[in-house]
Amino acid sequence: MNPSQLAAELSSIGVSPSKSRGQNFLIDDSVADRQITYASICPEDTVLEIGPGLGMITNRLASKAKQVIAIETDKKLADYLSKKLPSNVELITADALCVDFPKFDVMVANLPYSISSPIVFKILNYDFRNAVVMLQKEFADRMVAKPGSKDYSRLSVSTYYRSQCRILENVPASKFYPAPKVDSAVVEIIPREPPFTLSNKSFFFKLTEMLFQHRRKKIRTILKSKRLIEMDGDIPYLDLRVETLSPEQIGELSEAILALNDR
């Protein structure tokens, strides 16, 4: 479907793409086809899709999977889809951030930029095989960034702890209608067991958030300013800068601070 055809279809159902909802519709069939291929869907799979739009991805999923669960927050789009989608698609009209997801094996979605972060972290609380999601390229770059790189962030650490991620391809803004101001990327997410052990996950994630508010500072400076340590003790990596620490090293730091404060 080209941009003029898609605009006419949206107009016919009374939908004007919403910037606040991040409604940018994929118009390139080859990109959609590759997303389905990347997902490696089996005939017995239940697939979750968030933001089905006009059903471009949904129909492809339905031809491969046993069941598709599509969650659409826009009532006009949901009404349109309810008349178009095959019988193995369960359509849920709701905000994906506000509902519990049914059991699923695979997730495939072109996520609105405005909800990318909360949705990614929400799905990682579920048991599934893999996800293939379209995200803002800048966000995707931060998800997969390595220590020492300009994109390395709290998001990089949190994602690494919960999953294996990789960028499968970059998608230019011209592949969407209306064209967003930034490019996108297709990302594969595979949940995994954490690569290191933590005695207090909550403290680890709070520490990570705090450290990356000062990513260029040395660990010693940050911890003393926050009064997490009074003396150096057995705390590692005090003379390293936050942006150079691997997730494993932040884990070690977290455990050392907890141990020191328990004495």
Sheet of 130-136: strands edge to edge?
89-93, 67-72, 46-50, 106-110, 130-136, 184-191, 163-171
pLDDT value of position 23: 84
- What is the predicted pLDDT for the residue at 232? 62
Q: Which residue has the tokens 């500072």?
A: 217
Q: What is the pLDDT of residue 145?
A: 98
Annotated binding-site ranges: 24, 26, 51, 72, 95, 110
Phi, psi of 157 (to 5 degrees): -65, -45
User: In Å, what is the CA distance from 56 to each residue of 51, 155, 203, 210?
Assistant: 11, 30, 42, 41
pLDDT at 112: 85
pLDDT of residue 76: 95
- Give pLDDT tens digits along the chain (263 positions): 788 989 899 999 999 887 777 789 999 999 999 999 999 999 999 999 999 999 999 999 999 999 999 999 999 999 999 999 999 999 999 999 999 999 999 999 999 888 999 999 999 999 999 999 999 999 999 999 999 999 999 999 999 999 999 999 999 999 999 999 999 999 999 999 999 999 999 999 999 999 999 999 999 999 988 887 766 668 999 999 999 999 999 999 999 999 987 76
Taking alpha carbons only, the member of 247, 245, 240 closest to residue 157 is 247
pLDDT on residue 17: 85
Binding site per annotation, positions for S-adenosyl-L-methionine: 24, 26, 51, 72, 95, 110
In angstroms, how far is CA 203 from the centroid of its own chain?
Answer: 22
pLDDT at 231: 63
